[in-house]
Structure 1
């Protein structure tokens, strides 16, 4: 190893640590989307909440992409990928929001956490990312903790318990596509175009569902606090989405995947503060395991970073 190689390694590990930090912030904010969505879904259909989420995302990001002059930086190939990302986000959010009508936020998120396992596997297959036994173990331990939190039972919630799994698969593929596109694309532009496509897909669904009486697709005019809840969905989704894009530009998907388990921690806290859903002893144990798996990943990456930044003593030099 030469003296010129060491700075490159140190820089690479610094980027990984930067990506880890952004991902932690993103996953701690992300449950606010679900909290506001659960508040809104009492009177507003799932597809409409999803549509407003994308509309507000576009409105918030438009000034940024105009200033950065990246609004028209789009080829047909990129357009197709953004359309795919938008469609996957619609599938992800629509499935999950529909679940929130009958399930607690923390429970739905706990089932959803098969997603990091799916993402890790897809990352190793399609992105050829190197995954060691430590990362696989961290994913497995975190998933076990999520199972303790959710205490899943098909008898209690029926087939709707499968919707978070559908949502998890949609997000895993979305993140995989994001990882492929993010290296050569402006993160703000990515979020803007995903919002455009997601909004168009939602409007099409709402148009088809108008007058159907469906609690998922038939649009209504929001009243009272529903406007504030919808605004909260859009703001939280925009912030966490942009942070996530920057994180995946800096670090491999397989490294970031276990950190997403931290989302169950903030989801449990927010669920308790807003809805009074206080976890029992078994759920607290699961939360502790989830925190431990996430902190281990951070510790592991920082240890590797410090090792790489110190030049080894070699008789050959």
Structure 2
């Protein structure tokens, strides 16, 4: 199938373009997280926020995708796996935005990057891959980084930390589901990612709207624009990631995915004045270092595609 016109390969290999796109995707998805956190602070219930995020996402992707991609999305080769992935993504979105309600954006985003390390550590059982000491050591290092971030005295809300860890677990399940649907085109998976959440939450609108109506009545133009932008930033972030992986090998892009933590830190500081302290940055560095090192080891061991790499944080959402 021909690639969609807005993610078509422009050259056989464009490393710098791919890196630039994945950095832009990180900023886009971090802006999604910031917008969601801001609009919830303005009084919008989480369920309605998620409905807007998924509905706008689906509408934009459907409008930009060619008819051939839409027809292919209606006939996925593994529909049950696509549905499962969409349902897990919806659950992870709820979980992550709940974590953002209780904790700073940088710390919540950092915990998400534990997910690919969980997948690597559990690969012998869930992916039938060989057990490797390097993977378990990387996972342990990642957990150590998390413990530094959520240490006693960090000031993080236990509720937020709990939902942050739940989100990392859900993201790890999402990565496994992504393996299962890899036989479909990325555009098919992108459409299903928005479709499952949109259909499920639309069915629940009779219960969602009454709780959201008081806040919606008070919203001005700024609040409505920020609310709608969550779907725009989410769709844009995922489209940019698809294009980046079409231009540049995943192994080269993997280290740059961690710049999403930097984006989250800067946005959190600009909007709320939250900035990680020195020990938190140490924990973040441990998580990033373990992910980058194991990514390099996996790439050297087997350049075949399929090595789990971190997806975006709440944007995955």
Same-fold call, TM cutoff 0.5: yes
**In the alignment, does 2:203 pair up with 1:190?**
no
CA distance in structure 2 between the partners assigned to 1:243 and 1:303 by the alignment: 26
Summarize the Cα distance change of 1:195–1:226 in structure 2 as closer, same or farther, 3 Å threshold.
same
CA distance in structure 2 between the partners assigned to 1:90 and 1:188 by the alignment: 18
1:5 is matched with none
- Structure 1 residue 298: Cα displacement: 5.4
In the alignment, is the contact (CA less than 8 A) between 1:142 and 1:261 conserved in 2?
no
Q: Which runs of 5+ in 2 are unaligned?
A: 1-11, 304-317
Q: Secondary structure at the match of 1:278?
A: coil
1:90 is matched with 90
1:107 is matched with 107
TM-score (norm 1): 0.72
Q: How does 1:1-317 map to 2 (within 5 A)?
A: 26-27=25-26, 29-42=28-41, 43-67=43-67, 69-73=68-72, 74-75=74-75, 78-130=78-130, 132-151=132-151, 157-182=157-182, 184-211=183-210, 213=211, 220=216, 222-242=219-239, 262-297=259-294, 299-300=296-297
* CA distances 1:197-255 after superposition (whole Å, capped 9, x unpaired): 111112233323443x4x7x9984553322232233223322333455678999899x9
TM-score (norm 2): 0.72
In the alignment, is the contact (CA less than 8 A) between 1:81 and 1:177 conserved in 2?
yes
Summarize the Cα distance change of 1:209–1:258 in structure 2 as closer, same or farther, 3 Å threshold.
same
- Structure 1 residue 292: Cα displacement: 3.0
Q: Which runs of 5+ in 1 are unaligned?
A: 1-13, 307-317
CA distance in structure 2 between the partners assigned to 1:302 and 1:40 by the alignment: 40
Aligned positions, number: 285
In the alignment, is the contact (CA less than 8 A) between 2:107 and 2:149 conserved in 1?
yes
Structure whose CA Rg is larger: 1
CA distance in structure 2 between the partners assigned to 1:240 and 1:135 by the alignment: 28
In the alignment, is the contact (CA less than 8 A) between 1:31 and 1:266 conserved in 2?
yes
- Structure 1 residue 191: Cα displacement: 0.8
Summarize the Cα distance change of 1:76–1:300 in structure 2 as closer, same or farther, 3 Å threshold.
closer
RMSD: 4.0
